[in-house]
Chain A
């Protein structure tokens, strides 16, 4: 199966894709770099792949907050998904807006009970000296704002919840 996902690497979009080329062969693109690799799935759910003559083993799952938790050999990472053009992190369509990265909440532009449009900017975060605008993603009413401006939040932390407007 082919795969595509936009990851967020230090605030920048990193497009990653894999295309099957035939028996155990894949073309994998990470940003601007293209690789051809051989890969096999193992019975325990891990994947073994060969890149430039070296074998690696990995396993990954996608978490409810949109991050991919990867274990590769003896190392692990949580790989966040790219927020997209002004979209919030995670599942914006269900109105749950989570922090795309660990950082500081610069401002919260809405209060609980306030109606919002999907394109409205609801909060601004800062990390790695870059500002990230988070939009509502859906039309609705702000149900919950558990953070305030100035708060330091972990990646994936709940910033806002918006209740979908009845339609």
Chain B
């Protein structure tokens, strides 16, 4: 590759995505600067970068969301660009403007298109203007609930109430009958006010069963936009994606072309630059409707990378540096190759309503092998706190077809362990073996229709105790002193550990 467009880039994020971004930058010969909170000083994402800057604070709002500190970090470390990752400030137009004001490039779309697409109402209007089909609904909220009820009757039930400024399922309610409507919209307005400082709602007809299928797009600074195929992300809990794959089991070449063209039209309509994702609902007849456009790198971007052979972070950096897409992608066949599936490993207990789990991961074992990729943000000893998203890693596999990928993923998950906290690993394995999943019969209602997948494990059989005894005999990890949060040094734990654990008994064969 020729000279990189930037000398040093600040990675304004944490966890797996910051690690993943640093890897690409490093391969490009670009220096990396990590930022961290007071408690993240030795986190994997800090060690993945060449230098680190302490933002202070403990929770997100006092650290990774602190624009003045981030600007300071970028200036002090003489960075010429910032990669925001996903979440945090990645979709904040004011952050992009603030960077631009101090002469640092924001690796993402320009602030104006972010602003348009960040408002569900303006985004929907842009989609209509670009002749992209939208979900039937109502998007001119005046704040009058009685009027909204009239509009709701016109749209028809079931419908979704969504916060115009929202995302991630906050300020969103499914309303199946008219009688529930007023209570639901009041709750949505409260949630949205608290989360997004906005009470504006929109109504959307609820399509069921529908699939969540999205198109990855990439725009350069010269008006070119390319679509990099679809990802299917229908397996969701509470509007949070859990399993994503590419290509979609139901998208044929014709539908792919139609959806890709629609996504490119929308991106061009708003002058979109850099990586973005146009989300659609696809109904049983194969009709698709625009949902929203995410103006950042998505969590699930690796399945696109596997099936196209591209490095999206590298491309983001190159287009941000002014490269032209026709030069970057000339001669490349972008038809999806093979099949890729990603699972998100969360620190949570699916049997308790996906309650987030907190604690120290005592032991990490991650899989590897042909077609297996792990984007992880944890190591043995990492403490999972309640102040950040409970996703700990993503396990991605690439196979020659969907069934091959599914089997590789199951084998990979059997090799995976995050010991010390509850995770959704068992749950993910059950989903991957569910007949409907195997057949590719997915919809956003998949998990609601299969609640048994989230059940608690059956009581441990004798085999489990036998396995525990063998692990205790053969591996030092069972009797080893556990890792304490933030300090794994000896002597920090009560002496009783030796007295109370199997360790003392080892000598008494």
B493 CB contacts on chain A under 8 angstroms: 64
Q: Are B420 and A69 in contact (CB under 8 A)?
A: yes
B506 CB contacts on chain A under 8 angstroms: 1-3
Q: How far is the CA of A131 from the CA of B499 in the complex (A)?
A: 26
Residue B462 contacts which of A30, A56, A63, A66 (CB distance < 8 angstroms)? Answer: A30
Where chain B touches its partner, the secondary structure class is helix
B460 is an interface residue with CB less than 8 A from chain A: yes
Q: Are A59 and B414 in contact (CB under 8 A)?
A: no
B251 CB contacts on chain A under 8 angstroms: none
B467 is an interface residue with CB less than 8 A from chain A: yes
Least distance between B302 CB and chain A CB atoms (Å): 22
Q: Are A62 and B478 in contact (CB under 8 A)?
A: yes
A61 is an interface residue with CB less than 8 A from chain B: yes
Q: How far is the CA of A58 from the CA of B496 in the complex (A)?
A: 27
A72 CB contacts on chain B under 8 angstroms: 463-464, 467
Q: How far is the CA of A72 from the CA of B457 in the complex (A)?
A: 12
B497 is an interface residue with CB less than 8 A from chain A: yes
Give A24's nearest chain B residue, CB to CB. B474
Give B508's nearest chain A residue, CB to CB. A2
A14 CB contacts on chain B under 8 angstroms: 465
A167 is an interface residue with CB less than 8 A from chain B: no
Least distance between A123 CB and chain B CB atoms (Å): 19
B41 is an interface residue with CB less than 8 A from chain A: no
B494 CB contacts on chain A under 8 angstroms: 91, 93-94, 96
A76 CB contacts on chain B under 8 angstroms: 417, 423, 425-426, 457
Least distance between B504 CB and chain A CB atoms (Å): 10
Least distance between A136 CB and chain B CB atoms (Å): 14
The count of residues in chain A whose C-beta lies closer than 8 Å to any C-beta of chain B is: 58
Q: Are A16 and B468 in contact (CB under 8 A)?
A: yes
Give B499's nearest chain A residue, CB to CB. A93
Residue A61 contacts which of B363, B429, B459, B497 (CB distance < 8 angstroms)? Answer: B363
Residue A70 contacts which of B468, B484, B495 (CB distance < 8 angstroms)? Answer: B468
Q: Are A3 and B410 in contact (CB under 8 A)?
A: no
Give A84's nearest chain B residue, CB to CB. B500
Given contacts A10-B459, A93-B499, contact A61 B470 (CB under 8 A): no
B258 is an interface residue with CB less than 8 A from chain A: no
Q: Are A69 and B362 in contact (CB under 8 A)?
A: yes
Q: How far is the CA of A40 from the CA of B474 in the complex (A)?
A: 7
Q: Are B496 and A91 in contact (CB under 8 A)?
A: yes
Least distance between B464 CB and chain A CB atoms (Å): 5
B473 is an interface residue with CB less than 8 A from chain A: yes
Q: Are A75 and B457 in contact (CB under 8 A)?
A: yes
B2 is an interface residue with CB less than 8 A from chain A: no
Q: Are A18 and B469 in contact (CB under 8 A)?
A: yes
Q: How far is the CA of A61 from the CA of B380 in the complex (A)?
A: 11
Q: Are B460 and A59 in contact (CB under 8 A)?
A: no
A17 CB contacts on chain B under 8 angstroms: 469
Q: How far is the CA of A146 from the CA of B463 in the complex (A)?
A: 36
B62 is an interface residue with CB less than 8 A from chain A: no
A30 CB contacts on chain B under 8 angstroms: 462, 465-466, 469
Q: List 24 A-B contacts (CB under 8 A).
A: A2-B509, A4-B505, A9-B460, A10-B459, A18-B472, A30-B462, A39-B474, A46-B365, A49-B466, A56-B467, A59-B419, A60-B468, A60-B475, A61-B478, A62-B482, A66-B501, A68-B468, A68-B472, A70-B467, A70-B468, A76-B417, A77-B460, A93-B495, A94-B495
By a beta-carbon cutoff of 8 Å, the part of chain A in contact with chain B is 1-5, 7, 9-10, 14, 16-20, 26, 28, 30-31, 33, 35, 37, 39-41, 44-47, 49, 51, 56-64, 66, 68-79, 90-94, 96
By a beta-carbon cutoff of 8 Å, the part of chain B in contact with chain A is 362-363, 365, 410, 413-415, 417, 419-420, 422-423, 425-426, 429-430, 457, 459-460, 462-475, 477-480, 482, 484, 493-497, 499-502, 505-506, 508-509
Besides A1-B473, A92-B496, 12 more A-B contacts (Cβ < 8 Å) are: A26-B469, A26-B470, A41-B474, A44-B415, A45-B363, A59-B417, A61-B362, A62-B501, A64-B482, A75-B426, A76-B425, A92-B500
